[in-house]
């Protein structure tokens, strides 16, 4: 009974049980495939009978092999080496394990999977059990040889086989799911087989390798893999805290090759293929759609400073001239100030009223429609729903104090997805000047700038601004002067014009010289 208190025995038993279970995974997969050919009510019974017969077969093989390895009488010599029956068994078993582990590693790394093919038919119960036993005989060879190579006591070998088969019988389904979900565990155990196979070859050639060395290496690897599994679980847990839509959007954008720069490391083949398959405009459109739900209405509306509106306090002649020159088919109608909104009217109706009555009657319900207001804290999806119910009418955006901040039309939503569509009296908010150089209005949308400039450094998660001017004011923390500049993510922003206490125009240039070290690295 002294062996009960030998820690080496227990370490060897634990390690051998683990290896026997992993070596039986392929066996379990094939048993599952064969049992699946039976009617559902017979599958568990076939699996139980097949694994029980496999255990008996392994115990029988262990007895035979353990007896054979006691044959130490030399049979022949090659040079200075004498080979006995035991040496030949160990040598052939080691070569078999090396071959088996190498083939399995190749299949795992190359992605070769066991799959069921052919038409689905129900087979006879006896035929399926017979096939399971035959397969068990084949798959038991590496398990038996591994047991002989790991420990010296026959009782420990048999105990390990009984325990491992018992575990596989009780937990075959969850065990298969665990191994399939953690392929690194299988690869690690196959590497153990390589070590054991090398040890058997060395034993067969007369070089003894202490079992403690194998146990130490296997134990250290198991500890490292355990830490790796904990780290992976924590990574997945932290990743799961992000909203599913945000994770999906990020994955799709990576697939489309978003924000690929010349200075970055060469992209993998998959990314290159994605760049060839999707044009820049297509990637920007998909990016606009996927990020639409995260944006506020302030980021897509036409700001107050750029609004066109009719001021009834002006002379009718001036109003008529404004209406004839405007490219817009709808305008807010106000009196004296844009915050005093009387309603919204179509341009052609206002022109008709001026030509017919020489004035605009604010009390005419057929001329002015009630303005629709939306809070500036609303999201784009809410704004989209409001526009659907507006029946083609523009929507005004106001803050918590009722001050009009801008207006919103379906064109603004389309621009958030597909880029700018300047009116006749407008020019693009971002204008290219040459390679890696642009001029932008202070009102330029940051999401549009991120797409064109290929950067992620402009839109902050907690930022309360949506324009380039807001981004720069947040960086300067004061109203800048012409010529002031700031750098961010390899881009230089220089103030070109400041009008009415706001940033009007900005020069943007990519700092190409900063990309050189990244290429040389």
Q: How many beta carbons lie within 10 A of that of residue 211, not counting itself?
A: 17
Give pLDDT, residue 489: 84
E strands present in 307-460: 310-311, 330-335, 337-346, 372-375, 395-398, 404-408, 430-434, 437-441
Name which of 187, 134, 186 is nearest 21 in CA terms. Answer: 186
% of the chain with per-residue pLDDT over 90: 16
**Res. 215: pLDDT tops 90:** no
Question: Which residues, in sequence order, are CB contacts of 135 under 8 Å at separation 6+?
Answer: 27, 30, 31, 34
pLDDT per residue as tens digits for the range 238-279:
766 655 555 666 666 665 555 544 444 444 444 444 445 556
Q: How many beta carbons lie within 10 A of that of residue 454, not counting itself?
A: 17
* Coil, helix or strand at residue 115: coil
Instruction: Tell me the C-alpha distance between 403 and 396, whole Å.
Output: 10
Instruction: Tell me the C-alpha distance between 16 and 4, whole Å.
Output: 16
Torsion of CA 86, 92, 95, 99, to 10 degrees: -140
Q: How many beta carbons lie within 10 A of that of residue 62, not counting itself?
A: 20
Instruction: Tell me the C-alpha distance between 220 and 206, whole Å.
Output: 27
Which range of 2-6, 94-98, 168-172 scores highest in mean pLDDT? It is 94-98
Give pLDDT, residue 334: 94
Name which of 266, 87, 4, 55 is nearest 167 in CA terms. Answer: 55
**Res. 516: pLDDT tops 50:** no
**Res. 61: pLDDT tops 80:** no
Give pLDDT, residue 168: 72
**Res. 365: pLDDT tops 90:** no
**Res. 356: pLDDT tops 80:** yes
Using a 10 angstrom Cβ sphere, with 0-12 exposed, 13-18 middle and 19 or more buried, the burial of residue 14 is: middle
pLDDT per residue as tens digits for the range 221-244:
878 888 888 888 787 777 666 555
Instruction: Tell me the C-alpha distance between 452 and 455, whole Å.
Output: 8
Q: Just give the CATH number of 430-520.
A: 3.30.465.10
Q: Just give the CATH number of 296-418.
A: 3.10.580.10
Domain parsing of the chain, residue ranges: 2-238, 246-290, 296-418, 430-520
- Across the range 131-147, mean pLDDT stands at 60
* Coil, helix or strand at residue 331: strand
Question: Which residues, in sequence order, are CB contacts of 440 under 8 Å at separation 6+?
Answer: 429, 430, 431, 449, 468, 505, 506, 508
- Across the range 342-353, mean pLDDT stands at 92
pLDDT per residue as tens digits for the range 159-178:
777 887 777 777 666 765 66
* 345-349, 350-354, 420-424: least confident range: 420-424
Question: Which residues, in sequence order, are CB contacts of 111 under 8 Å at separation 6+?
Answer: none
* Coil, helix or strand at residue 146: helix
Tokens at 262, concatenated = 């010349």
Give pLDDT, residue 263: 40
The answer to whether the beta carbons of residues 264 and 349 sit under 8 Å apart is no
Residue 485 parent element (H or E): strand 485-488
pLDDT per residue as tens digits for the range 289-330:
767 777 788 888 888 888 899 999 999 999 999 999 888 899
**Res. 430: pLDDT tops 70:** yes
Query: Which of left, alpha, beta for 442 (phi over 0: left; psi -120 to 50: alpha)?
Result: alpha
Residue 100 parent element (H or E): helix 85-110
Beta bridge partners of 74: 84
Give pLDDT, residue 451: 78
- Burial of 368-391, coded b for 16+ CB within 10 Å and e otherwise, reads bbebbebebebebeebbebbeebe
Question: Which residues, in sequence order, are CB contacts of 376 under 8 Å at separation 6+?
Answer: 296, 297, 298, 301, 397, 398, 399, 405, 406
Which range of 210-214, 273-277, 284-288, 336-340 scores highest in mean pLDDT? It is 336-340
* Coil, helix or strand at residue 167: helix
- Across the range 362-390, mean pLDDT stands at 88
Q: What are phi and psi of 508, to 5 degrees?
A: -120, 130
Give pLDDT, residue 515: 43
* Coil, helix or strand at residue 291: coil
- Across the range 79-96, mean pLDDT stands at 76
Give pLDDT, residue 113: 52
Q: Report the mean per-residue pLDDT for the chain.
A: 76
Give pLDDT, residue 96: 73
- Integer-rounded Cα Rg, in Å, for the chain is 38
Give pLDDT, residue 425: 62
Residue 500 parent element (H or E): none
Q: What pTM was computed for the model?
A: 0.47
Give pLDDT, residue 331: 93
* 31-45, 340-354, 389-403: least confident range: 31-45
Q: Give the β-pairing of 404-408 and 302-303.
A: antiparallel
- Across the range 366-374, mean pLDDT stands at 91
């Amino acid at each position: 009974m002294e062996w009960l208190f030998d820690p080496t025995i227990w370490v060897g038993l634990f390690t051998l049980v683990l290896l026997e279970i992993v070596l039986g995974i392929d066996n379990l997969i094939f048993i599952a495939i064969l049992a699946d050919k039976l009617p559902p009510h017979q599958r568990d019974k076939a699996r139980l009978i097949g694994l029980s017969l496999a255990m008996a077969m392994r115990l029988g093989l262990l007895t035979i092999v353990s007896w054979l390895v006691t044959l130490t009488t030399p049979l022949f010599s090659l040079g200075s080496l004498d080979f006995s029956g035991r040496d030949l068994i160990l040598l052939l078993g080691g070569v078999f394990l090396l071959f088996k582990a190498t083939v399995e590693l190749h299949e795992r790394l190359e992605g070769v999977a066991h799959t069921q093919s052919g038409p689905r038919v129900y087979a006879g119960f006896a035929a399926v059990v017979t096939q399971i036993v035959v397969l068990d005989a084949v798959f038991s060879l590496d398990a038996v040889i591994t047991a002989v190579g790991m420990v010296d006591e026959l009782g420990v070998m048999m105990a390990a086989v009984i325990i491992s088969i018992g575990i596989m019988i009780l937990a075959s389904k969850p065990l298969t799911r665990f191994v399939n979900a953690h392929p690194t565990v299988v690869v690690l155990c196959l590497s153990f087989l390589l070590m054991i196979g090398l040890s058997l070859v060395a034993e067969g050639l007369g070089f003894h390798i202490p079992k403690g060395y194998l146990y130490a290496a296997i134990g250290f690897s198991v500890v490292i893999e355990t830490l790796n599994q904990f780290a992976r679980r924590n990574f997945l847990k932290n990743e799961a805290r992000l909203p599913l839509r945000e994770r999906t959007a990020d994955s799709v954008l990576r697939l489309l090759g978003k924000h690929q720069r010349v200075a970055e490391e060469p992209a993998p083949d998959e990314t290159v293929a994605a760049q060839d398959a999707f044009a820049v405009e297509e990637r920007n459109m998909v990016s606009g759609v996927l990020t639409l739900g995260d944006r506020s209405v302030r980021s897509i509306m036409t700001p107050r400073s750029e609004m066109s509106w009719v001021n009834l306090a002006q002379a009718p002649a001036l109003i008529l001239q404004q209406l004839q020159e405007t490219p817009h088919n709808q305008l807010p109608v106000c009196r004296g100030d844009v915050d005093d909104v009387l309603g919204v009217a179509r341009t052609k109706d206002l022109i008709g009223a001026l030509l017919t009555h020489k004035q605009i009657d604010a009390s005419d319900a057929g001329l002015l429609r009630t303005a629709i207001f939306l809070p500036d804290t609303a999201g784009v999806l809410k704004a989209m729903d409001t526009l659907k119910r507006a029946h083609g009418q523009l929507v005004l955006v106001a803050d918590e104090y009722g001050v009009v901040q801008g207006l919103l039309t379906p064109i603004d939503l389309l621009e958030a997805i597909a880029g700018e569509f300047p009116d006749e009296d407008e020019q693009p908010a971002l204008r290219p000047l040459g390679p890696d150089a642009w001029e932008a209005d202070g009102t330029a949308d940051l999401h549009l700038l991120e797409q064109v400039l290929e950067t992620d450094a402009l839109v902050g998660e907690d930022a309360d601004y949506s324009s380039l001017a807001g981004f720069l004011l947040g960086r300067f923390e004061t109203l800048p002067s012409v010529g002031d500049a700031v750098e961010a993510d390899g881009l230089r922003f220089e103030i070109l014009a400041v009008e009415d206490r706001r940033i009007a125009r900005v020069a943007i240039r990519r700092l190409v010289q900063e990309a050189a070290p990244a290429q040389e690295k």
